[in-house]
Amino acid sequence: MSLLKETDFGTPASDSTENVTVIIDGREITVPAGTSVMRAAKMLETTIPKLCATDNLNSFGSCRLCVVEIDGRKGTPASCTTLVEPGMVVRTQTQKVEKIRKNVMELYISDHPLDCLTCPANGDCELQDMAGVVGLREVRYGYEGKNHLASPTDYSNPYFNFDESKCIVCSRCVRACEEVQGTFALTIEGRGFDSKVSPGGKDFLSSECVSCGACVQACPTSTLQEKSVVDLGMPNRTVITTCAYCGVGCSFKAELRGDELVRMVPHKDGGANEGHSCVKGRFAWGYASHPDRVLLPKIRESITEPWREVTWEEAIEFAASKLKSIQSKYGQQSIGGITSSRCTNEEVYAVQKMIRAAFGNNNVDTCARVCHSPTGYGLKQTFGASAGTQDFKSVEKSDVIIIIGANPTDAHPVFASRMKKRLRKGAKLIIVDPRRIDLVRSAHVEASHHLPLLPGTNVAMINALGHVVATENLIDWDFVNSRCDLNAFKKWEAFIKQPENSPEVVETITGVPAEEIRAAARLYASAKNGAIYYGLGVTEHSQGSTMVMGIANLAMATGNIGREGVGVNPLRGQNNVQGACDMGSFPHEFSGYRHVSDDVVREQFENLWGATLQKEPGMRIPNMLDAAIVGDFKAIFIQGEDIAQSDPNTKHVKAALASMALVIVQDLFINETAQFAHVFFPGTSFLEKDGTFTNAERRINRVRPVMASKTGKQEWEVVALLSKALGYEMNYTTSAEIMDEIAQVTPSFTGVSFAHLDKVGSVQWPCNEANPNGTPVMHIEQFVRGKGQFMETHFVPTEERTTRKFPLLLTTGRVLSQYNVGAQTRRTKNSTWASEDLLQIHPSDAELRGVKEGEWVKLASRVGETTLRAQLTSAVPPGVVYTTFHFPVTGANVITTEYSDWATNCPEYKVTAVEVMPSLSGPTEKSILDKSEKALAKNV
């Protein structure tokens, strides 16, 4: 339930191409065959009363409220389960059906608490609405008989209650869990009068429920109710905006009472999520008003001094004078900055503009450096566009899906639900991942092939898949001949056919049986529509860029590009990774991925900006940190990124930060990085921002200010003030003006404006004169670069090797309830499910080391060590261990090394040689990390 009601047609749309004409209440309508009578009536704006039906669930026919009369048919069929037939004549409002409906409602209400005036759902309850619609005025049966009014309430979930006494057993929650979320955590227990909704276990919290909220949204009563609504009351206004967590970029209705946010409800018209959500976006927004939020600017001369709260003016002046003085002493290249994927396109654009125009150099980079920079590189080389090829909806047409190095059910849950829906309908699944992720085998989903390769051997694996395609005549010659550069293809074909790429040789590298590789390759290549989805398990390697190109090769060789159901799809980690990259955050590129050395492009920016711009690339994040250590790089502006926790080899990062003369952090919280800062500019949460995010499917969504900025300023305003203090004025008065400038200088954005987005909802770039409403699927007629470019993808093993001292391989990832460095989710009740980082270790490796379930272990690599609890599981193979990096006290990146992708310097988070041993205690406030920080500070 929610405040703003989108039209509910009662049953899902039919995708039939055949049409049927029927007459409903004397009016004729033509609808697709397979449409329900209920839906057809709604299309005529005739609302048939209903309780168990809603249009994101298959019809169920249990409530009997939607009965109608149909000429020539006996009885009163349910309109939700009755499909239209040619010439059918339907009557929805007859005395007979109205009497039935009233009787049905009377029975429901006879076993329902009569506490409407004090019920949290008062005013937002379909049962209440239907009682009014059918004209129920009395309940003849009394309330003394057997009933469910004393049934208990389950308060265990931190975000919603389950009040059994209010349940009408319509099964909408059970069906939402199955059909929308795909978790199958709920069931109807018992029979007849004893039927009741059950989470399967003792309570919701201990069940398999993933708290996506689909059941709460589906509930037509107050049975499943958000605690925030119970506590705060029913909201009274709605703002449609975009989630700030993962790269799915779900649309939400932010529902408020005055200026207080009461709940976030997924928006049905949101193109990315179509009304679904996960536990993070739906419920974990409390961090935005957490007491840890810093709302006033702070400065200090040295990081050993306490912070001093100052006015914006003083903070801006302090930062600007320091930056100027550092540049005058150490040179123009001695300062730089980092943009953030958690910020809007407009905020990111402003920062990169400040760096290029006011700092006068190209030392700007973005946190995509440490996640998807190889995607940008690899897809630009092969396809000509640094982005995924499809929209999310495309997966509904896929026949074979390959997931490589991604764990969508945890990291991209809303897309995972969409994918699982397709898998339940029969699409085949291949998983390439060292770990047995949930999608390998879960409720009603089982992968046809799981290729559990050794970390670091991705490229060998993709080459082997390509080898099978090339040597077993599985190439789509029509596609290759018409769409691809044939010279490059011939070179690739000669390379990929070499015996070193055969599954039999690759088996010795990856550990995956050759026959399994061959079978997977045949399955993908023979699919009508084969799609590849991948994550950071592809990019965060020494050969991340090579692997992305290998994936592109495979898709091109099999003709799986340029239509619905196919494609190469990077699952972006953060909400605006795509956008931050699009906006010119990389040191070698302006917005729209155009190199700074391109005189024509640079001149366009110089003329518009009124500044002289440099034509050589600037420094990447690791270059800046290295240069800081040797004394060449002295000041950095860090927008919304906690590099002291998220970047690899924490000790090195902290040493670099500690050696700088000025660190400026713009963020919500005093994070790990801010411990090394001299200036802290308080940032805005997504609830306060006014701008756009671009998700993993290139969808540009509006981020609307749900409430006024708690700091009094938008982040781009602070950047503009700093830029002005440095001598370069930006002169924007609204964020819409920034987008207008982006559209002016970025060919793929020329049709984008806030006004257009407000009108059409969202668009996927390219959005320009040729594609005014955007481009859901790219490369349809031809590739952006013209012909698709096959690339030779030689397997060059990482230098990170296991040794006798460090015999295990560590790989990292994230869990469903936490998000990246945890700055947001740790400040919510999501920590109920995961309150610490755990080390997953195979029972055989654990036994060898005397490690027991739940006990502390020391995890050590050649660069550092930390302590965390062990979790024994066969989900990781022997020889591989796995952990997350959500908690600073663990500091998992103390362990990860300096190795990075050869082309982009994306860190190799996924392969670190480690050893694990029992430990007597865990990390504390006085951990090794803290000690090292203090030592660094002392040295400074």
Partner 1 sequence: MSDSSLIRMANQIAANLKNRADHREAITAHLKSFWTPKMLTELKELISENSTDFDETIIEVAATL
Q: Which residues bind partner 1 (CB under 8 A)?
A: 333, 491, 542-543, 546, 587-588, 595, 597, 616-620, 622-623, 626-627, 629-630, 632, 792, 794, 796, 898, 902-903, 905
Residue closer to partner 1 (CB basis): 365 or 582 = 365
Residue closer to partner 1 (CB basis): 504 or 632 = 632
What angle do helix axes 458-471 and 514-525 make, rounded to 10 degrees? 60
Q: Which two tokens stand for residue 294?
A: 């810093």
CB of 364 to partner 1, least distance (A): 12
| 683 φψ region: left (φ > 0), alpha (ψ -120 to 50), beta (else) | beta
Measure Cα distances from 475 to 397, 470, 472, 556 in Å.
21, 6, 8, 9
Q: How far apart are the first and last CA of the chain?
A: 56
Contact yes or no for 415/271 (Cβ under 8 A): no
CA 785-788-792 angle, to 5 degrees, is: 120
Residue closer to partner 1 (CB basis): 11 or 373 = 373
Q: Which two tokens stand for residue 191?
A: 């029979």
Residue closer to partner 1 (CB basis): 623 or 692 = 623
| Bridge partners for 912 per DSSP | 810
Q: Which residues have a Cβ under 8 Å from the Cβ of 571 and sit 6 or more positions away?
A: 247, 406, 408, 411, 412, 415, 533, 534, 535, 696
CB of 792 to partner 1, least distance (A): 6
d(CA 69, CA 37): 11
- The one-character DSSP state at 179 is I
Residue closer to partner 1 (CB basis): 587 or 774 = 587
CB of 748 to partner 1, least distance (A): 20
CB atoms under 10 Å from CB of 397, counted, come to 16
CB of 813 to partner 1, least distance (A): 25
Length of the chain, in residues:
940
d(CA 715, CA 192): 58
CB of 328 to partner 1, least distance (A): 18
CB of 791 to partner 1, least distance (A): 9
Residue closer to partner 1 (CB basis): 800 or 933 = 800
Residue closer to partner 1 (CB basis): 54 or 539 = 539
CB of 643 to partner 1, least distance (A): 16
**Burial environment of residue 769 by CB neighbours within 10 A (0 to 12, 13 to 18, 19 or more):** exposed
Residue closer to partner 1 (CB basis): 796 or 917 = 796
Residue closer to partner 1 (CB basis): 345 or 457 = 457
| Bridge partners for 699 per DSSP | 764
Residue closer to partner 1 (CB basis): 467 or 620 = 620
CB of 332 to partner 1, least distance (A): 11
Residue closer to partner 1 (CB basis): 436 or 588 = 588
Listed residue (214, 271, 227) closest to 248, CA to CA: 271
φ, ψ of residue 515 in degrees (nearest 5): -65, -35
CB of 786 to partner 1, least distance (A): 18
Helices (H), 244-387: 279-283, 312-330, 345-353, 373-382
CB of 317 to partner 1, least distance (A): 30
State the amino acid at position 15 in one-letter form: D
**Burial environment of residue 504 by CB neighbours within 10 A (0 to 12, 13 to 18, 19 or more):** middle
d(CA 709, CA 687): 8
φ, ψ of residue 490 in degrees (nearest 5): -60, -40
CB of 451 to partner 1, least distance (A): 23
Residue closer to partner 1 (CB basis): 820 or 905 = 905
Beta-strand relationship, 224-226 and 160-163: antiparallel
Residue closer to partner 1 (CB basis): 28 or 616 = 616
Whose tokens are 């995708």? That residue is: 15
Contact yes or no for 386/586 (Cβ under 8 A): no
Sheet holding 260-266, edge to edge: 237-242, 251-257, 260-266
CB of 904 to partner 1, least distance (A): 8
d(CA 930, CA 940): 15
CB of 903 to partner 1, least distance (A): 7
CB of 613 to partner 1, least distance (A): 15
CB of 459 to partner 1, least distance (A): 10
CB of 496 to partner 1, least distance (A): 13
Helix (H, G, I), strand (E, B) or coil at 664: strand
Residue closer to partner 1 (CB basis): 8 or 626 = 626
Residue closer to partner 1 (CB basis): 863 or 875 = 863
For residues 724-742, one letter each, b for 16 or more C-beta atoms within 10 angstroms of the residue's C-beta and e for the rest, the string is bbbebebebeebbebbbbb
**Burial environment of residue 317 by CB neighbours within 10 A (0 to 12, 13 to 18, 19 or more):** middle
Listed residue (76, 41, 35, 42) closest to 59, CA to CA: 35
Residue closer to partner 1 (CB basis): 559 or 622 = 622
